[in-house]
């Protein structure tokens, strides 16, 4: 009976929790897998840091980059983070030296996943990263194994708990983005530098990984549309609600012909759709496959407990040997899809123009929309006391490039237009 020697590199928020839960669940994992786990080495930056938990000194390795050279280690769990630097070197070196890798590092996998998967296949080791998408939701396993019989055409979801918390709380507490961001930071949902969450960069890595697994393709390495939530005001959330929608930051990917239409942006979605009612830090992923149809996966998208659950599941998969391919198929079988030209995207648009409340402004807006073949479905005007007015418009279906052209022209008129908000409406299907 084999005992697996596991090394944990990075003992922060997630690494320490994995350490604790592996110790707590040792017997349980043995009963379920028939294999024993032995935490043989651990490493982090500062060996003197008080982690509030007793860790035997003999396990400590000062430099994580020494781990790949330690013969008795079978599995290295990388929980340092970052797409480059020490995490990258550790993962590449470990695979080269025949160690299995488990990581939660979405930035690294989104950037180097294809290269790493090829190397892992060559070296006959596993590279697993369940925790990199959707925290505790076993979405990668579900797609790779549970949906193996399906051709997946479409995947989308709410993949960032911080931004979902902010949008939900803005609506619930009728508060501004900045006020709720502060609350999120105090509760530990948002980091002191929340840029990766707020800008959509974190979600962009996650949808790149999901696309590759769902469609059996190489990771999209071209720049695709990524928009965050910092431009959204409480007014947009309230106005969307009055129109029957809720605003969510969505990551969406679908196959259009031989291209992938992949993007991250806030969207107005109908209130009666399940995904519109995923609130707080919860994540949800919708996968549309043939023959299964629409499936939805919901759960805690981050946090130490849920994330450690996914990491330990990957360790167990390696031990029982039931997960050979990182992305669900041999790297050599991965297709090379091109990115869809998003200028050709067609949808309805929510537009808000904050303008100086002067006669003739409305006709400037409507004539420019008409010039760009954009027709109006709803129009709401909302003057305030400061001689400013908000004009909210929901368009009929229009082409992205026409909408962008129109906004570009209007933006130049700084005397009238103080702010223009564009949010795509996603009500064309019940997906």
Ligand X SMILES: NC(=O)c1ccc[n+]([C@@H]2O[C@H](COP(=O)([O-])OP(=O)(O)OC[C@H]3O[C@@H](n4cnc5c(N)ncnc54)[C@H](OP(=O)(O)O)[C@@H]3O)[C@@H](O)[C@H]2O)c1
Q: Nearer to ligand X by C-beta: 65 or 388? A: 65
Could you list the beta-strand ranges (E) of 35-160. 36-43, 75-78, 100-103, 127-128, 151-158
Question: Applying CB under 6 A, does 64 fall inside the site for ligand X?
Answer: yes
| Burial class of residue 327, CB neighbours in 10 A (0-12, 13-18, 19+) | buried
For position 14 contacting ligand X by CB under 6 A, the verdict is: yes
From residue 108, alpha-carbon distances to 78, 96, 105, 277 in Å are: 11, 16, 6, 31
Give the DSSP letter of residue 145: I
Structure tokens at 122: 């060559």
Stretch near ligand X under the rule CB under 6 A, chosen from 30-38, 169-177, 301-309, 345-353 = 301-309
- Reading the block at residue 168, the tokens are 């939900």
Per-residue x/- mask for ligand X, residues 122 to 161, rule CB under 6 A?
---------x---x--------------------------
H/E stretch holding 361 reads: helix 361-371
Region of 103-111, 150-158, 252-260, 279-287 interacting with ligand X (CB under 6 A): 103-111
Cβ distance to ligand X smaller for residue 129 or 224: 129
Among 6, 7, 8, 11, binds ligand X (CB under 6 A): 11
Residue 14 vs 260, nearer CB to ligand X: 14
Residues 6+ apart with CB under 8 A from 110: 83, 204, 205, 206, 208, 209, 219
What percentage of the chain's residues is helix, strand, coil (to nearest 5)? 40, 30, 30
Q: Is residue 22 involved in binding ligand X (CB under 6 A)?
A: no
Among the listed residues 6, 61, 81, 403, the single contact to ligand X using CB under 6 A: 81
Cβ 201 to ligand X shortest distance, Å:
11
**Given the structure tokens 């974190």, which residue do they identify?**
202
Q: Which of 10, 6, 116 is nearest to 63 (CA)?
A: 10
Indicate if 344 belongs to the active site.
no
Q: Does 331 bind ligand X (CB under 6 A)?
A: no
Tell me how far, at minimum, the Cβ of 80 lies from ligand X, in Å: 4
Q: Distances in Å between the alpha carbon of 423 and those of 174, 272, 332, 345? A: 19, 19, 39, 13
If one asks whether residue 302 binds ligand X (CB under 6 A), the answer comes out as yes
Shortest spacing between CB 321 and ligand X, in angstroms? 25
Smallest CA-to-CA distance from 93 within 63, 57, 59, 131 is with 63
DSSP strand E in 326-416: where?
338-339, 346-356, 376-383, 388-395, 398-399
CB of 76 to ligand X, least distance (A): 13
Applying CB under 6 A, the span of 100-108, 234-242, 366-374, 407-415 interacting with ligand X comes to: 100-108
10 sits near ligand X (criterion: CB under 6 A): yes
Q: Does the footprint of ligand X cover residue 378 (CB under 6 A)?
A: no
Pick the binder of ligand X from 6, 39, 80, 240 (CB under 6 A): 80
CA distances from 173 to 23, 108, 167, 169, 288 (A): 41, 36, 10, 6, 34
Among 18, 104, 110, 285, indicate the residue that binds ligand X (CB under 6 A): 104
Kindly write out the interface string for residues 399-428 of this chain, putting x where it contacts ligand X by CB under 6 A and - elsewhere: ------------------------------
Strands 417-425 and 346-356: antiparallel
Q: Which of 169, 430, 137 is nearest to 288 (CA)?
A: 430
Which conformational region is residue 362 in: left (phi greater than 0), alpha (psi within -120 to 50 degrees), or beta?
alpha
Strand partners, 285: 157, 297
# residues near ligand X by CB under 6 A: 23
Which region, judged by CB under 6 A, interacts with ligand X, from 7-15, 53-61, 165-173, 321-329?
A: 7-15
- CB of 33 or CB of 103, closer to ligand X: 103
Q: Does 200 bind ligand X (CB under 6 A)?
A: no
* Catalytic pick among 88, 99, 106, 206: 206
CA atoms within 13 A on the CB side of 360: 1
Taking residues 163 to 182 in sequence order and writing x for each that binds ligand X by CB under 6 A, - otherwise, the string is --------------------
Give the residue, chosen from 55, 86, 362, 388, that forms a contact with ligand X under the rule CB under 6 A: 86
Q: Which is nearer to ligand X, 154 or 304 (CB)?
A: 304
Query: Of 43-51, 178-186, 218-226, 365-373, which part binds ligand X (CB under 6 A)?
Result: 43-51
> Is residue 13 involved in binding ligand X (CB under 6 A)?
yes
Residues forming the site for ligand X (CB under 6 A): 10-15, 44-46, 49, 64, 79-81, 86, 104-106, 131, 135, 302-303, 307
- Positions annotated as catalytic residues are 206
């Amino acid at each position: 009976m084999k005992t697996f020697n596991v090394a944990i590199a990075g003992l922060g928020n997630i690494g320490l929790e994995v350490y604790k839960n592996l110790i707590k669940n040792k017997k349980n994992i043995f009963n379920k897998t028939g294999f024993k786990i032995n935490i043989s080495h651990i490493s982090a930056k500062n060996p003197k840091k008080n982690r509030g938990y007793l860790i035997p000194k003999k396990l400590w390795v000062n430099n994580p980059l020494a781990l790949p050279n330690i013969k008795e280690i079978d599995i290295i769990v990388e929980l340092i983070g970052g797409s480059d630097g020490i995490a990258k070197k550790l993962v590449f070196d470990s695979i080269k030296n025949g160690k299995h890798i488990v990581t939660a590092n979405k930035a690294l996998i989104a950037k180097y996943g294809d290269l790493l998967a090829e190397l892992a296949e060559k070296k006959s080791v596993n590279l697993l990263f369940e925790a990199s998408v959707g925290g505790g939701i076993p979405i990668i396993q579900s797609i790779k194994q549970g949906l193996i019989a399906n051709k997946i055409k479409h995947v989308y979801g709410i993949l960032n708990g911080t931004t979902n918390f902010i949008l939900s709380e803005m609506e619930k507490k009728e508060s501004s983005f900045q006020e709720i961001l502060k609350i999120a930071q105090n509760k530990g949902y948002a980091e002191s530098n929340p840029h990766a969450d707020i800008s959509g960069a974190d979600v962009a890595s996650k949808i790149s990984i999901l696309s590759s697994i769902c469609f059996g393709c190489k990771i999209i390495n071209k720049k695709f549309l990524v928009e965050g939530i910092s431009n959204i005001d409480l007014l947009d959330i309230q106005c969307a609600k009055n129109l029957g929608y809720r605003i969510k930051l969505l990551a969406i990917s679908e196959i259009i012909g031989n291209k992938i239409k992949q993007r991250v942006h806030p969207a107005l979605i109908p209130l009666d759709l399940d995904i519109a009612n995923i609130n707080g830090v919860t994540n949800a992923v919708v996968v549309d496959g043939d023959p299964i149809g629409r499936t939805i996966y919901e759960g805690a998208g981050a946090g130490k407990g849920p994330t450690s659950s996914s990491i330990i599941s990957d360790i167990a998969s390696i031990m029982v040997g039931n997960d050979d391919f990182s992305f669900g198929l041999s790297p050599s079988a991965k297709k090379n899809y091109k990115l869809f030209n998003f200028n050709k995207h067609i949808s309805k648009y929510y537009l808000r123009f904050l303008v100086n409340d002067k006669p003739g402004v409305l006709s400037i807006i409507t004539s420019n929309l008409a010039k760009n073949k954009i027709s109006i479905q709803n129009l709401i005007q909302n003057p305030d006391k400061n001689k400013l007015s908000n004009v909210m418009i929901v368009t009929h279906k229009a082409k992205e490039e026409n909408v962008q052209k129109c906004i570009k022209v209007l933006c130049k008129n700084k005397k009238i237009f103080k702010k223009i908000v564009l949010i795509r409406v996603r009500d064309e299907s019940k997906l």
